[in-house]
């Protein structure tokens, strides 16, 4: 939980957003040669918001957790990001806001899943 986002990301595999090739961390796709720098930076920012949200929740700072969850959802409005944001809205007693996320939060996860438990898989 305290590892830097980029270090965690480098441990995992990801799918190239351009061609779908599964591969280890790389700044260039092994198959299509796509530059993945921006993709990786976005994924690192997403993981950072996820970690910050959980740390704030653990510390009892619901308002700061909500800010982090909103930032993470803005970066990648995935199933898991919607669930985290909905939970933060509930903790902040924003019941209608949490309910508004229900369709997305209760939808099927992305094909490869998208929950960054320790290091996220990057399937958007």
Q: Give contact residues for Zn ion (rule: CB under 5 A).
A: 16, 18-19, 21, 29, 31-32, 34
CA distance 25 to 9: 7
**Cβ-contact 26, 10 below 8 angstroms:** no
| Residue from 53, 55, 57 nearest 69 by CA | 53
Question: Judged by CB, which is closer to Zn ion: 36, or 81?
Answer: 36
Shortest Å distance, C-beta 115 to Zn ion: 23
Going 105 to 97 to 118 to 15, the CA torsion angle's sign is positive
Shortest Å distance, C-beta 16 to Zn ion: 3
Question: Judged by CB, which is closer to Zn ion: 27, or 61?
Answer: 27
Question: Judged by CB, which is closer to Zn ion: 41, or 102?
Answer: 41
């Amino acid at each position: 939980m305290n590892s830097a986002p980029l270090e965690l990301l480098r441990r995992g595999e990801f799918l190239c957003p351009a061609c779908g090739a599964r591969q280890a961390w790389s700044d260039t796709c092994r198959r299509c040669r796509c530059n993945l720098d921006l993709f990786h930076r976005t994924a690192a920012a997403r993981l950072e918001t996820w970690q910050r949200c959980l740390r704030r929740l653990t510390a009892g700072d619901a308002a700061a957790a909500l800010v982090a969850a909103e930032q993470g959802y803005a970066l990648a409005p995935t199933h898991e990001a919607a669930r985290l944001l909905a939970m933060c809205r509930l903790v902040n007693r924003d019941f209608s806001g949490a309910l508004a996320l229900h369709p997305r939060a209760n939808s099927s996860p992305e094909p490869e899943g998208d929950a960054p438990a320790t290091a996220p898989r990057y399937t958007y």
